[in-house]
Chains A and B, each alone.
Chain A
Amino acid sequence: MASLSEMYDVGWEEMRDKLRKWREDNCRNSEQIVDVGEELISEHASKLGDDIWIIYEQVMIAALDCSRDDLALTCLQELRKQFPDSHRVKRLTGMRLEALERYDEANKHYDAILQEDPTNTAARKRKISILRAQGKSTEAIRELNEYLEQFVGDQEAWHELSELYINEHDYGKAAFCLEELMMTNPHNHLYCEQYAEVKYTQGGMENLELARKYFAQALRLNNRNMRALFGLYMSASHIAASPKVSAKVKKDNIKYAAWAAAQINRAYKVRGSRSTRTMHSSYSAALSATESRVFHMTLQSPTHQLKKKKNGFICCILTFIRYLRTSSHSVNLFICIKLERNSLPESASLAFICKVVIPTLVAFTPSGHIYSFCIKLRL
């Protein structure tokens, strides 16, 4: 079987640099690390100098991830020879025991490290990982909370805790962990977006508003984050569709939803490949279905005197039709006119519909669009 260096025409320096890059980026591409690292160690060990020890560690962990115990043991033995009393190497021994599912032995190992050095964070985190692997989420959460009381700045631990809480459906506490992460990493769009998702899942008007704000923040930090864009659209639409919000809030959220929808459509048009073009059109249909719902709300806002509202009414319809142009599927338009008591009589409102609404729709709707509309008069 041809070696990697022959297949891809790379020298040992490139392989070593690749491994360093993966180390720095903390990638978990274990199969690749094992392929590259195994060849580097077996063929070019002498050329690596002192780098070899850290490479042994990296390859060993990757080998455990791929169930390559043979390779892991080789690396471990080399490291043990070179660093006989090192806690770092002892942690690797413990990890190997974990990989072989010998959790009790692994725990004893970590306890021994902690006896000698109570501040050893690596051993404590491995113990928590064992709890997680055994499915003992409540204990893992408890231990992790205790750990974080001592080591408040450990980002990795906060993120792990937020994941544990999400899996337990304890969204309030997950949000708290993500808040800690956002405070210390204000420029990280992924934390903002994850926080927004948790808030959205919690539900309720306040949380939806927060979700929308944080989706928007994530977009400000990275305007290519599709999840944030979709999230913004969905949270704004839900707020606008709720009967409990004021007219101004409704109007604002419709604007946000419309903006997000336009951005999504543009992203698919610009970046979508041919195969995703069908996805885009299917999504347009879904957007249209919800867009019509969104506009239903606009038109339902209480009319005072129909004459006064006529211009506003026409503006709403025109805005809606502008969005019809971007979609390519049939849309259901519901027009609901709510009349207040002692306002214009029924006949006048019907006349308004016949003389204003329908002609506007007919005049401005692009041809080829099929729309059905249902007009309800609510008295």
Chain B
Amino acid sequence: MGEVELSCRAYVKMYLHSCLFPRCSINGLLLSSSSAGGAVCVTDCVPLLHSHLPLAPITQLALTQVDVWCAQTQQRIVGYYQANACASDCSPTPCALKIADKIAEQFESAVLLMLDGSKMSPDDRVPPIVMYERRDSKWVLKDKHTIMLRQWEETQAIASQMLESGDHALLVDFDGHLDDITKDWTNQTLNTKIAELSSPANGNI
């Protein structure tokens, strides 16, 4: 199907989310601020949960809130990401498929992204990402050549650097917001930090 581009900000936040909760399954939503049609450009992500992923009420609540926020900020939900607690297992769980199906109802070219926990060390050259797309009501693996990460080395460097300096503790997911509603699940502070670290040459953040 179409091409998918993953921005630095989206990747770094996903990476930091999985590093913040290394012992839990985590999930989140992928957002895009560019217009529909052509390549899907994932520009941002919203980390959602790190506990009880299959339970319905909080997931429904989070989807509604993110939907409303997206409508206000001219973004749309274009995908879903998940990282399983068991690092060696990166196959989508039934709840991942369910949520991805729901997103695909609203957006045809939705993507399902699984983070591969076994390939997340700084020595690994390839992005630890497995992407699925929807074809004939089933989720099939996407052709690797249609997935783009611009300036991958730089993105990886930023992610490692932020992990080293402990910035992953600044990330707030929806679960964290419910524990303390003063925390901002859109992670504006983290977005600013990522923007500061990426070089001016990196066009699409």
A contact residues vs B (CB 8 Å cutoff)? 28, 65, 133, 135, 163, 166-167, 169, 194, 196-198, 200-201, 203, 211, 226-227, 230-231, 234-235, 267-268, 271-273, 275-276, 278-279, 282-283, 285-286
Contact of B56 with A201 in the complex, beta carbons under 8 Å: yes
B33 within 8 A of A: no
Known interface pairs A135-B89, A286-B68. Does A166 touch B55 (Cβ–Cβ under 8 Å)?
yes
> A271 is contacted by which of B67, B89, B181 (Cβ under 8 Å)?
B181
Contact of B52 with A286 in the complex, beta carbons under 8 Å: no
What is the bound-complex CA distance between A276 and B95, given in angstroms?
28
What secondary structure prevails in chain B residues at the interface with A?
helix
> A230 is contacted by which of B61, B72, B86 (Cβ under 8 Å)?
B61
Question: Which residues of chain B are near A278, meaning CB under 8 Å?
Answer: 69, 72, 186
What is the bound-complex CA distance between A169 and B55, given in angstroms?
9
Question: Which residues of chain A are near B38, meaning CB under 8 Å?
Answer: none
Contact of B55 with A197 in the complex, beta carbons under 8 Å: yes
From A28, A226, A231, name the one whose CB has the most chain B CB atoms within 10 angstroms: A226
Contact of B68 with A234 in the complex, beta carbons under 8 Å: no
Contact of A279 with B178 in the complex, beta carbons under 8 Å: no
Contact of A201 with B65 in the complex, beta carbons under 8 Å: no
B199 within 8 A of A: no
30 contacts across the A-B interface (CB closer than 8 A): A133-B86, A163-B52, A167-B54, A167-B93, A194-B52, A196-B57, A197-B55, A197-B56, A197-B58, A200-B55, A200-B57, A201-B54, A201-B56, A201-B57, A203-B56, A226-B181, A230-B57, A230-B178, A234-B57, A234-B60, A235-B57, A267-B181, A272-B182, A276-B184, A278-B186, A279-B177, A279-B186, A283-B65, A283-B68, A286-B65
Contact of B184 with A275 in the complex, beta carbons under 8 Å: yes
Q: B7-38 toward A: CB 8 Å interface, digit per residue (1/0)? A: 00000000000000001000000000000000
Q: In the complex, how many angstroms separate the beta carbon of B192 from the nearest chain A beta carbon?
A: 12
B188 within 8 A of A: yes
Contact of B181 with A268 in the complex, beta carbons under 8 Å: yes
Q: B161-205 toward A: CB 8 Å interface, digit per residue (1/0)? A: 000000000000000011101111110100000000000000000
B94 within 8 A of A: yes
Look across to chain A and name the residue whose beta carbon is closest to the beta carbon of B64. Answer: A286
What is the bound-complex CA distance between A247 and B72, given in angstroms?
36
Question: Which residues of chain A are near B86, meaning CB under 8 Å?
Answer: 133, 135
Please count the residue pairs between chain A and chain B whose beta carbons lie under 8 angstroms apart in the complex.
Answer: 82
Contact of A169 with B94 in the complex, beta carbons under 8 Å: yes
From A194, A273, A279, name the one whose CB has the most chain B CB atoms within 10 angstroms: A279
> B72 is contacted by which of A135, A169, A282 (Cβ under 8 Å)?
A282
Size category, B interface: 20 to 34
Question: Which residues of chain B are near A230, meaning CB under 8 Å?
Answer: 57-58, 61, 178
From A200, A201, A273, name the one whose CB has the most chain B CB atoms within 10 angstroms: A201
What is the bound-complex CA distance between A347 and B57, given in angstroms?
45
Give 17 A-B pairs besides A194-B52, A273-B184 with Cβ atoms closer than 8 angstroms: A166-B54, A169-B54, A197-B56, A197-B57, A200-B57, A227-B58, A234-B61, A268-B181, A272-B181, A273-B182, A276-B177, A276-B182, A279-B69, A282-B68, A282-B72, A283-B68, A286-B64
What is the bound-complex CA distance between A235 and B95, given in angstroms?
20
From B54, B60, B94, B177, name the one whose CB has the most chain A CB atoms within 10 angstroms: B54
Contact of B188 with A275 in the complex, beta carbons under 8 Å: yes
Contact of A279 with B185 in the complex, beta carbons under 8 Å: yes
Q: In the complex, how many angstroms separate the beta carbon of B182 from the nearest chain A beta carbon?
A: 4
What is the bound-complex CA distance between A167 and B182, given in angstroms?
30
What is the bound-complex CA distance between A75 and B67, given in angstroms?
50
Question: Which residues of chain B are near A200, meaning CB under 8 Å?
Answer: 55-57
Known interface pairs A133-B86, A286-B64. Does A198 touch B55 (Cβ–Cβ under 8 Å)?
yes
Look across to chain B and name the residue whose beta carbon is closest to the beta carbon of A267. Answer: B181
| Top-10 shortest CB links A-B | A275-B184, A201-B56, A273-B182, A282-B68, A197-B55, A282-B69, A286-B68, A200-B57, A226-B178, A286-B64
Question: Which residues of chain A are near B54, meaning CB under 8 Å?
Answer: 166-167, 169, 201
Question: Which residues of chain A are near B93, meaning CB under 8 Å?
Answer: 167
Known interface pairs A135-B89, A230-B61, A285-B68. Does A279 touch B184 (Cβ–Cβ under 8 Å)?
yes
Q: In the complex, how many angstroms separate the beta carbon of A294 from the nearest chain B beta carbon?
A: 15
Contact of A197 with B181 in the complex, beta carbons under 8 Å: no
Look across to chain A and name the residue whose beta carbon is closest to the beta carbon of B60. Answer: A234
Question: Which residues of chain A are near B55, meaning CB under 8 Å?
Answer: 166, 197-198, 200-201
What is the bound-complex CA distance between A194 and B181, given in angstroms?
19
Question: Which residues of chain A are near B177, meaning CB under 8 Å?
Answer: 276, 279
Q: In the complex, how many angstroms separate the beta carbon of A117 from the nearest chain B beta carbon?
A: 29
Q: In the complex, how many angstroms separate the beta carbon of B122 from the nearest chain A beta carbon?
A: 14
What is the bound-complex CA distance between A227 and B54, given in angstroms?
15
Chain B positions 123-144 with a Cβ under 8 Å from a chain A Cβ: none
Contact of B89 with A227 in the complex, beta carbons under 8 Å: no
From B55, B177, B178, name the one whose CB has the most chain A CB atoms within 10 angstroms: B55
Question: Which residues of chain A are near B56, meaning CB under 8 Å?
Answer: 197, 200-201, 203
